[in-house]
Amino acid sequence: MNELIETLKQQVIEALNLEDLTPADIDADAPLFGEGLGLDSIDALELIMILEKDYGIKLQSPAQGKEIFKSIRTMAEFIQANRTR
């Protein structure tokens, strides 16, 4: 799980061009949106694409999104349980 979390941090930094940050700067339990990493709702599109392209997961229920993308850790847990690649 820790390895997946570190990989995810790097993928999020690259996808969202968070050039000022390193994986070590991101708290795995901090909220991704609002406080914490301070992402905007539009940034969720890039997170969705990480799930689709890198892990073969297509989100089915829009209502799931907020819980899945709560933090890097919740993303990692969801990926571990649902990944197809």
Partner 1 sequence: MTDTSNTKTQWQGTTDGLPWMHRALVAVLGKVPIGVIYVFAAVFVVPFYLIGNRRGYLSQYHFFREAFGYGPFKAFRYVCLNHLRFAQVIIDRFAVYGGRRFRFAVEGLEAYNELAEGESGFVQVFSHAGNYELAGYELRQPRKRLYALLFRDGSQTIMENRENVFSPNGVQMVFVQPDMSHIFLLNNVVRDGDIASIPGDRMFGSTKSVECQFMGRQAQFPMGPFQLAVVREAPIVAIFVMKESWTQYRIFVRRLGLSLQGQPAAKRQHTALLAQEFATCLETIVRRYPEQWFNYFDFWQK
Contacts to partner 1 by CB under 8 A? 17, 33, 40-42, 44-46, 48-49, 58-60, 62-66
Residue type, 34: G
Which residue in 1, 11, 10, 2 sits closest to 51, CA to CA? Answer: 11
Min dist CB 58 to partner 1, Å, is 7
For the CA atoms of the chain, what is the radius of gyration? 12
Min dist CB 53 to partner 1, Å, is 10
Min dist CB 2 to partner 1, Å, is 27
CB 84 within 8 A of CB 57: yes
Nearer to partner 1, 6 or 44 (CB): 44
